[in-house]
């Protein structure tokens, strides 16, 4: 029996949509779009440099007239979850938003299909904002897109002054930890030679902003649990799980250096528990991982390896108690020790694997700066932004005493 005309039309439209959906998927090179987006931000220009001061000036000159004309429009909640091959009215607003911030080229006809160009535009936006490049309007992307242009311009003003204040004190070779981006750059002669993903301090245990010099590498270190963590965390864990210290290979010592049994400590009495020294042995579970990078500071802050590698894959990497965890830390260690004779990458890796306890003084005392830069630009005009995690932008703070 023949289908009614309305049903035949509906079936034809459904088949047309299916073919259109498949065509969009075939035309999109998602891997290529990711690579293109990464190339826009992964240049060898340091975030902290005089070049960035100039690049921020140019970005400000472009944002000021745009903001004066009203900035970009918000994208609606209906855009949440959009991805390649979707076809919804909210795609039109998404495209307009991407075009207005330069993440997608201007087109004559903005339709409602999330096509290959839109996929590339979303990944470009995500790269500029330090987000996972998945091409989807996930929660983090949706929120970042709805930050007003006026707020972004204010970030450019603040960070222009911050970078200008710090750039005058830079040496030819230095390490920068940019806290809002949770990244590390190893810089030499004006170029980034290494870039590392990091995990930095959470809001209530912030990584301090300071300048110092790297002094020593501790290979396969013991970890002496800070008193603050004994107070905040360790006593709680022991009350929840009496085997916690044994599972984490942590030993307890009294003031005379004698080992103490966990069962002899009253974990409900904080004053009693904090009178001991807690030391985690070297090994796979050690919180320092295979190394600790020391530099003088009054905060007991340092860079280190970590067994918790999965945290490096997150958008918001603010999990530590103030110290900085480094992805690919073995490469940074080799870079820091390259003036120490035979300490090449092979020797560093072999020492990691040996679990040998070893302290090596750095012949080159490379300066290290922990900084707070939430907006920057490179010479090809790509402007990057990060969230104001510690609310220093909200306070209008441009100078930091210890830096």
Structure tokens at 60: 């400000």
Which residues have CB under 8 Å from 302's CB, separation 6+? 292, 293, 294, 295, 323, 324
Structure tokens at 318: 């603010």
The residue among 275, 298, 286 whose CA lies nearest residue 401 is 298
Q: Which of 129, 196, 301, 323 is catalytic?
A: 323
Beta strands in 150-299 (DSSP E): 173-178, 183-188, 191-201, 210-219, 223-224, 250-253, 259-260, 277-280, 291-295
Q: With beta carbons less than 8 A apart as the criterion, state whether 294 and 216 touch.
A: yes
The residue among 106, 124, 128, 140 whose CA lies nearest residue 59 is 128
Half-sphere exposure of 227 (CA within 13 A, CB side): 7
User: Annotated catalytic, 323?
Assistant: yes
Distance, first Cα to last Cα, the chain: 81
**What is the b/e burial string over 393-402, where b = at least 16 CB atoms within 10 angstroms of the residue's CB?**
beeeebebee
Q: Alpha helices, DSSP H only, in 283-371?
A: 329-336, 345-354
Instruction: Specify which residues 184 forms β-bridges with.
Output: 177, 196
User: Annotated catalytic, 369?
Assistant: no
Instruction: Specify which residues 358 forms β-bridges with.
Output: 219
Instruction: Specify which residues 371 forms β-bridges with.
Output: 178
Q: With beta carbons less than 8 A apart as the criterion, state whether 129 and 385 touch.
A: yes
Separation of alpha carbons 17 and 14, rounded Å: 5
Q: What secondary structure letter does DSSP report for 87? A: B
Q: Which of 304, 319, 362, 369 is catalytic?
A: 304
Active site residues: 304, 323
């Amino acid at each position: 029996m023949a289908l009614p005309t309305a049903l035949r039309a509906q079936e034809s439209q459904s088949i047309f949509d299916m073919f259109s959906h498949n065509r969009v998927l075939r035309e999109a090179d998602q891997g290529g779009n990711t690579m293109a987006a990464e190339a826009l931000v992964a240049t060898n220009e340091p975030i902290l440099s005089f070049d960035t001061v100039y690049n921020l000036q140019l970005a400000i000159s472009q944002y000021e007239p745009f903001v004066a004309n009203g900035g970009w429009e918000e994208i609606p909640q209906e855009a949440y979850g959009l991805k390649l091959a979707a076809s919804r009215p909210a795609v039109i607003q998404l495209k307009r938003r991407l075009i207005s911030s330069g993440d997608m080229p201007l087109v004559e006809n903005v339709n409602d299909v999330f096509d290959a160009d839109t996929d590339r535009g979303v990944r470009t936006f995500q790269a500029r904002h330090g987000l996972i490049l998945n091409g989807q309007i996930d929660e983090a992307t949706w929120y970042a897109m709805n930050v007003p242009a006026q707020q972004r311009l204010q970030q450019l003003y603040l960070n222009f002054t911050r970078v200008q204040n710090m750039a005058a004190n830079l040496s030819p070779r230095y390490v920068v930890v940019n806290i809002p981006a949770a990244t590390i750059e190893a810089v030499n002669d004006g170029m980034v030679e290494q870039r590392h993903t990091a995990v930095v301090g959470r809001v209530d245990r912030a990584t301090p902003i300071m300048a110092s010099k790297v002094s020593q590498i501790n290979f396969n270190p013991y970890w002496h649990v800070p008193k603050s963590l004994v107070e905040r965390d360790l006593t709680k864990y022991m009350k929840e799980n009496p085997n916690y210290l044994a599972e984490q290979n942590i030993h307890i010592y009294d003031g005379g250096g004698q080992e103490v049994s966990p069962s002899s400590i009253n974990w409900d009495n904080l004053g009693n528990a904090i009178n001991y020294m807690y030391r985690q042995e070297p090994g796979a579970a050690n919180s320092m991982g295979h190394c600790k990078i020391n530099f003088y500071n009054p905060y007991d802050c340092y860079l280190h390896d970590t067994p918790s590698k999965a945290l490096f894959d997150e958008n918001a990497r603010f999990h530590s108690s103030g110290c900085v965890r480094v992805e690919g830390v073995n490469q940074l260690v080799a870079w820091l020790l390259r003036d120490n004779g035979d300490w090449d990458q092979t020797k560093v890796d072999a020492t990691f694997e040996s679990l040998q306890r070893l302290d090596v003084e750095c012949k080159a005392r490379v300066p290290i700066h922990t900084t707070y830069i939430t907006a920057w630009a490179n010479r090809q005009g790509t402007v990057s932004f990060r969230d104001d995690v510690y609310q220093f932008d909200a306070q209008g703070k441009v100078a930091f005493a210890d830096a």
